[in-house]
Amino acid sequence: MRHAVITGGASGIGEATARHLAADRIRVTIADRDAERGCAVATDIMASGNVAAFRPLDVSDDEAVERLASDLFATGGVDILVNSAGILQNAVRLHDLDMAEFDRIIAVNLRGTVVACRAFGRRMCAAGSGAIVNLCSLTSLIASPQPAYGMSKAALKIMTESLAAEYGPANIRVNAVAPGYTLTPAMQQRIDEGARNPDKMIAQSALRRLVSTPEVAEAIAFLASERASAITGTVLPVDCGFLVASAYQAYATQP
Distance CA 69, CA 95 (A): 39
pLDDT tens for each residue of 87-108: 989 889 999 999 999 999 999 9
| End-to-end Cα spacing for the chain | 51
Query: Is residue 167 among the annotated active site residues?
Result: no
pLDDT band per the 50, 70, 90 thresholds, residue 190: confident
Per the CB < 8 A criterion, the answer to whether 217 and 13 are in contact is yes
pLDDT at 187: 87
Mean pLDDT of 129-149: 95
Mean pLDDT of 209-234: 97
Distances (CA, A) of 39 to 46, 66, 148: 11, 21, 30
pLDDT tens for each residue of 39-82: 999 999 999 999 999 999 999 999 999 999 999 999 999 999 99
Residue 86, φ and ψ in degrees, nearest 5? -170, 165
Distance CA 210, CA 109 (A): 22
Enumerate domains of the chain plus CATH numbers. 3-180+212-239 (3.40.50.720)
Between 161 and 190, whose confidence is greater?
A: 161
Looking at residue 212, what DSSP letter applies?
Answer: P
For the chain, the average pLDDT equals: 95
The one-letter amino acid at 26: I
Mean pLDDT of 163-185: 96
- Burial state string for 53-71 with b = 16 or more CB within 10 A and e = fewer than 16: bbbebbbbebebbeebbee
Q: What percent of the chain has pLDDT over 90?
A: 86
- Whether residue 252 has pLDDT greater than 60: no
Within a 10 A sphere around the Cβ of 76, how many other Cβ atoms? Answer: 10
> Diameter of the chain by CA atoms?
61
Query: Which pairing describes strands 27-32 and 80-83: parallel, antiparallel, or unpaired?
Result: unpaired
Residue among 73, 88, 65 nearest 138 (CA): 88
Q: Which of 149, 167, 181, 248 is catalytic?
A: 149
